[in-house]
């Protein structure tokens, strides 16, 4: 779950190029020189100067292939890049010969769309610009770089950063919301994992965004922080998630247990191991017995159910929304459409299509929730975005059951309607759309009305500024085209704002 940090976003030298030394930066771009950016943790920001900048902007040597010269106006220095491009060697003009590794390479483009390189290097070319840590800082750094194992260690570590109290409070609120409202199902553990990853990644991004130097440039510290947040979260959701995980893999556990029982007390001779390759390990026998006991443990104790369902849930015909929908369909069609964002005819048509996929079997214990109720509560959820906890008061259905109904019904709708949004296939199809715009809207020569929405996302690892939009957050674009009757002819999601439509 750890989020990868973009070195260029936090590097003090790269930031100085874009703010304080803009002229030198633009000159390097114009000439397609190589920008060598020492990684942040090796830099002392106070030593960044024009001389530092000239030392780390390189131009090709006119004399020897594979050699580069600094951009000093006088007394240029020379470096050699290895044939595999993995390291630089300092040559003429430097105090001594040093080898500097190239950690990563990025390609960029100037205003004329010409390509130039940006190299992340492990440290400055000249040792006088390097950061020299003192003894106290080394000790503190070692402490910050020590992985936190137990829940108490994780809590104490996070409490050290009082300046991030608001971010940690948001994390606690997100965990509490997950535990209260999200239903963890054995067959949908991947969805639970994705939600927990989102919570962890968002919390890490919030904290890293406000970290101060040198922590924001310390990739090892950020890795430790990410692991600590994960451990802290998993401890908080343990009793919510772990029983379901055990339920999902109970058959695998039983299979493992049976194999362990078969192997228990087996001696090397019984399985054909030569005597010279076998030796007594009493401690291993004890560990093996403990493992069998652990796998064979009973599930986490469950609270005895006091009753099958809440009393008002059982009065579904009186308090549910089925009777309300029936009344609206007969007397107030406009309110029916407002309630589900769908008119009665479309609703009945959709119900007829999905009913075979969502109908449940009647048992001797109770009547199942009908397909009409399943479809209507799903449409209400999609129309309003209300929580399952809110929808239970409208539907008289438990929020855990609503979560399962929504997933199953959405899958059924996708299965039935995936062929309904189609691009026009011929010239006549396009001409019909154009004629529709002319007749309905007095807008000739139009082939569709297009609009989009920025859907906020957490920055994908290693993506740099690829998903960063003009509104100053990371997003993908939901784009759709409709005809003159508001009917979709194209829908797409997943591109960035860098993509452009050319006519």
Cα–Cα distance, 121 to 334 (Å, whole number): 65
Q: Please, which residues have CB within 8 angstroms of residue 404's CB and are 6 or more apart in sequence?
A: 183, 185
SS3 (DSSP) at 360: coil
Does 121 share its domain with 144?
no
Query: Do 43 and 100 sit in the same domain of this protein?
Result: yes
pLDDT of residue 245: 85
Domain that holds residue 60: 7-129
Q: Which residue has the tokens 């017995």?
A: 289
Residue 5 token pair: 């940090």
Q: Are residues 167 and 98 in the same domain?
A: no
DSSP of 268-285: GGGGT--GGG----HHHH
Asked if residue 475 is part of any domain, the answer here is yes
Are residues 358 and 386 both part of a single domain?
yes
Q: Are residue 151 and residue 124 in the same domain, yes or no?
A: no
The verdict on 88 and 14 lying in the same domain is yes
pLDDT (0 to 100) of residue 470: 82
CA distance 403 to 408: 9
Identify whether 275 is part of a domain.
no
Give the total number of structural domains in the chain.
4
pLDDT score at 317: 46
Residue 163, Cβ neighbours under 10 Å: how many?
A: 11
CA separation for the pair 380, 388 (Å, rounded): 11
Domain boundary among 210, 244, 278: 244
Alpha-carbon separation of residue 112 from 24, 59, 108, 117, 332 (angstroms):
17, 18, 11, 15, 63
Of 250, 218, 25, which Cα lies nearest the Cα of 133?
Answer: 218
Please identify, among 129, 152, 174, the residue that sits at the C-terminal boundary of a domain: 129
Same domain, 390 and 328: yes
Alpha carbons 357 and 372: distance in angstroms, whole number: 12
- Per-residue pLDDT tens digits for 132-145: 665 445 455 566 66
Query: What's residue 218's pLDDT?
Result: 66
Q: Hey, CA dihedral for 101, 104, 110, 112, is it positive or negative?
A: positive
User: pTM for the full model?
Assistant: 0.35
For residue 142, the model assigns a pLDDT of 60
Q: Are both 164 and 108 inside the same structural domain?
A: no
Residue at 327 is within a domain: yes
- Residue 362 lies inside a defined structural domain of this protein: yes
Do 123 and 158 lie in one domain? The reply is: no
Q: What is the mean pLDDT of each run of 10 residues along the chain (503 residues)?
A: 57 89 91 91 85 92 89 84 89 86 87 88 86 55 67 76 76 84 80 84 79 65 81 84 84 79 69 66 56 53 49 52 74 84 88 88 71 88 83 79 89 84 86 92 92 83 80 86 89 67 43
What residues pair up with 405 in beta bridges, in sequence order? none
In a domain, 345, yes or no: yes
DSSP assigned state of 478: E
Based on the domain organization, do 41 and 105 belong to the same domain? Answer: yes
The whole-number pLDDT of residue 481 equals 92
Q: Is residue 448 part of a domain?
A: yes
Q: Single out the residue in 129, 159, 179 at which a domain terminates.
A: 129
pLDDT (0 to 100) of residue 138: 47
SS (H, E, C) 103-159: EEEEEEECCCCCEEEEEEECCCCCHHHECCCCHHHHHHHHHHCCCCCCHHHHHHHHH
Question: Same domain for 315 and 406?
Answer: yes
Same domain, 230 and 169: yes
Host H or E run for residue 452: strand 449-456
What gap in Å lies between CA 159 and CA 320, rounded to an integer? 47
Asked, for residue 279, whether it belongs to a domain, the answer is no
| 351, part of any domain | yes
């Amino acid at each position: 779950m750890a989020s990868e940090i973009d070195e260029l976003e936090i590097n003090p030298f790269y930031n100085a190029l874009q703010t304080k030394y803009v002229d030198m930066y633009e000159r390097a771009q114009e000439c397609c020189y190589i920008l060598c950016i020492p990684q942040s943790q090796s830099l002392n920001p106070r030593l960044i100067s024009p001389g530092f900048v000239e030392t780390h902007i390189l131009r090709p040597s006119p004399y020897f292939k594979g050699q580069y010269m600094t951009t000093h106006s006088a007394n240029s220095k020379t470096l050699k890049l290895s044939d595999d491009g993995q390291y630089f060697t300092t040559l003429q003009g430097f105090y001594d010969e040093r080898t500097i590794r190239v950690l990563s390479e990025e390609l960029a483009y100037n205003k004329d769309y010409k390509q130039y390189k940006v190299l992340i290097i492990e440290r400055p070319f000249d040792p006088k610009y390097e950061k020299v840590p003192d003894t106290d800082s080394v000790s503190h750094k070692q402490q910050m770089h020590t992985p936190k194992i137990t829940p108490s260690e994780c809590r104490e570590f996070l409490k050290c950063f009082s300046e991030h109290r608001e971010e940690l409070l948001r994390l606690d609120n997100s965990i509490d919301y997950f535990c209260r409202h999200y239903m963890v199902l054995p067959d949908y553990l991947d969805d639970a994992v994705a939600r927990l990853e989102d919570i962890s990644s968002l919390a890490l991004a919030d904290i890293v965004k406000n970290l101060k130097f040198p922590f924001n440039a310390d990739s090892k510290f950020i890795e430790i922080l990410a692991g600590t947040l994960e451990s802290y979260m998993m401890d908080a959701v343990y009793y919510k998630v772990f029983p379901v995980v055990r339920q999902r893999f109970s058959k695998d556990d039983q299979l493992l247990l049976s194999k362990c029982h078969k192997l228990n007390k087996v001696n090397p001779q019984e399985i054909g191991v030569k005597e010279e390759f076998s030796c007594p390990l009493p401690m291993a026998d004890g560990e093996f017995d403990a493992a069998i006991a652990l796998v064979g443990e009973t599930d986490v104790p469950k609270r005895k159910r006091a009753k099958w369902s809440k009393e008002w849930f059982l009065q579904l015909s009186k308090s549910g929304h089925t009777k309300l929908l029936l009344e609206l369909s007969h007397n107030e069609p406009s309110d029916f459409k407002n309630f589900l964002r769908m008119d009665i005819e479309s609703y009945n048509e959709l119900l007829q299509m999905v009913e075979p996929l969502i109908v449940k079997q009647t048992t001797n214990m109770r009547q199942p929730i009908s397909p009409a109720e399943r479809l209507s509560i799903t449409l209400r959820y999609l129309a309003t975005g209300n929580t399952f906890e809110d929808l239970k008061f409208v539907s008289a259905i438990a929020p855990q059951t609503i979560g399962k109904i929504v997933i199953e019904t959405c899958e059924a709708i996708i299965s039935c309607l995936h062929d309904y949004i189609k691009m026009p296939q011929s010239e006549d199809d396009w001409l019909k759309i154009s004629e529709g715009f002319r007749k309905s809207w007095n807008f000739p020569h139009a082939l569709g009305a297009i609009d989009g929405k920025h859907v906020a996302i957490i920055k994908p690892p290693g993506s740099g500024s690829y998903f960063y939009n003009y509104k100053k957050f990371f997003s993908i674009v939901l784009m759709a085209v409709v005809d003159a009757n508001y009917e979709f002819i194209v829908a797409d999601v997943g591109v960035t704002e860098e993509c452009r439509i050319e006519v």
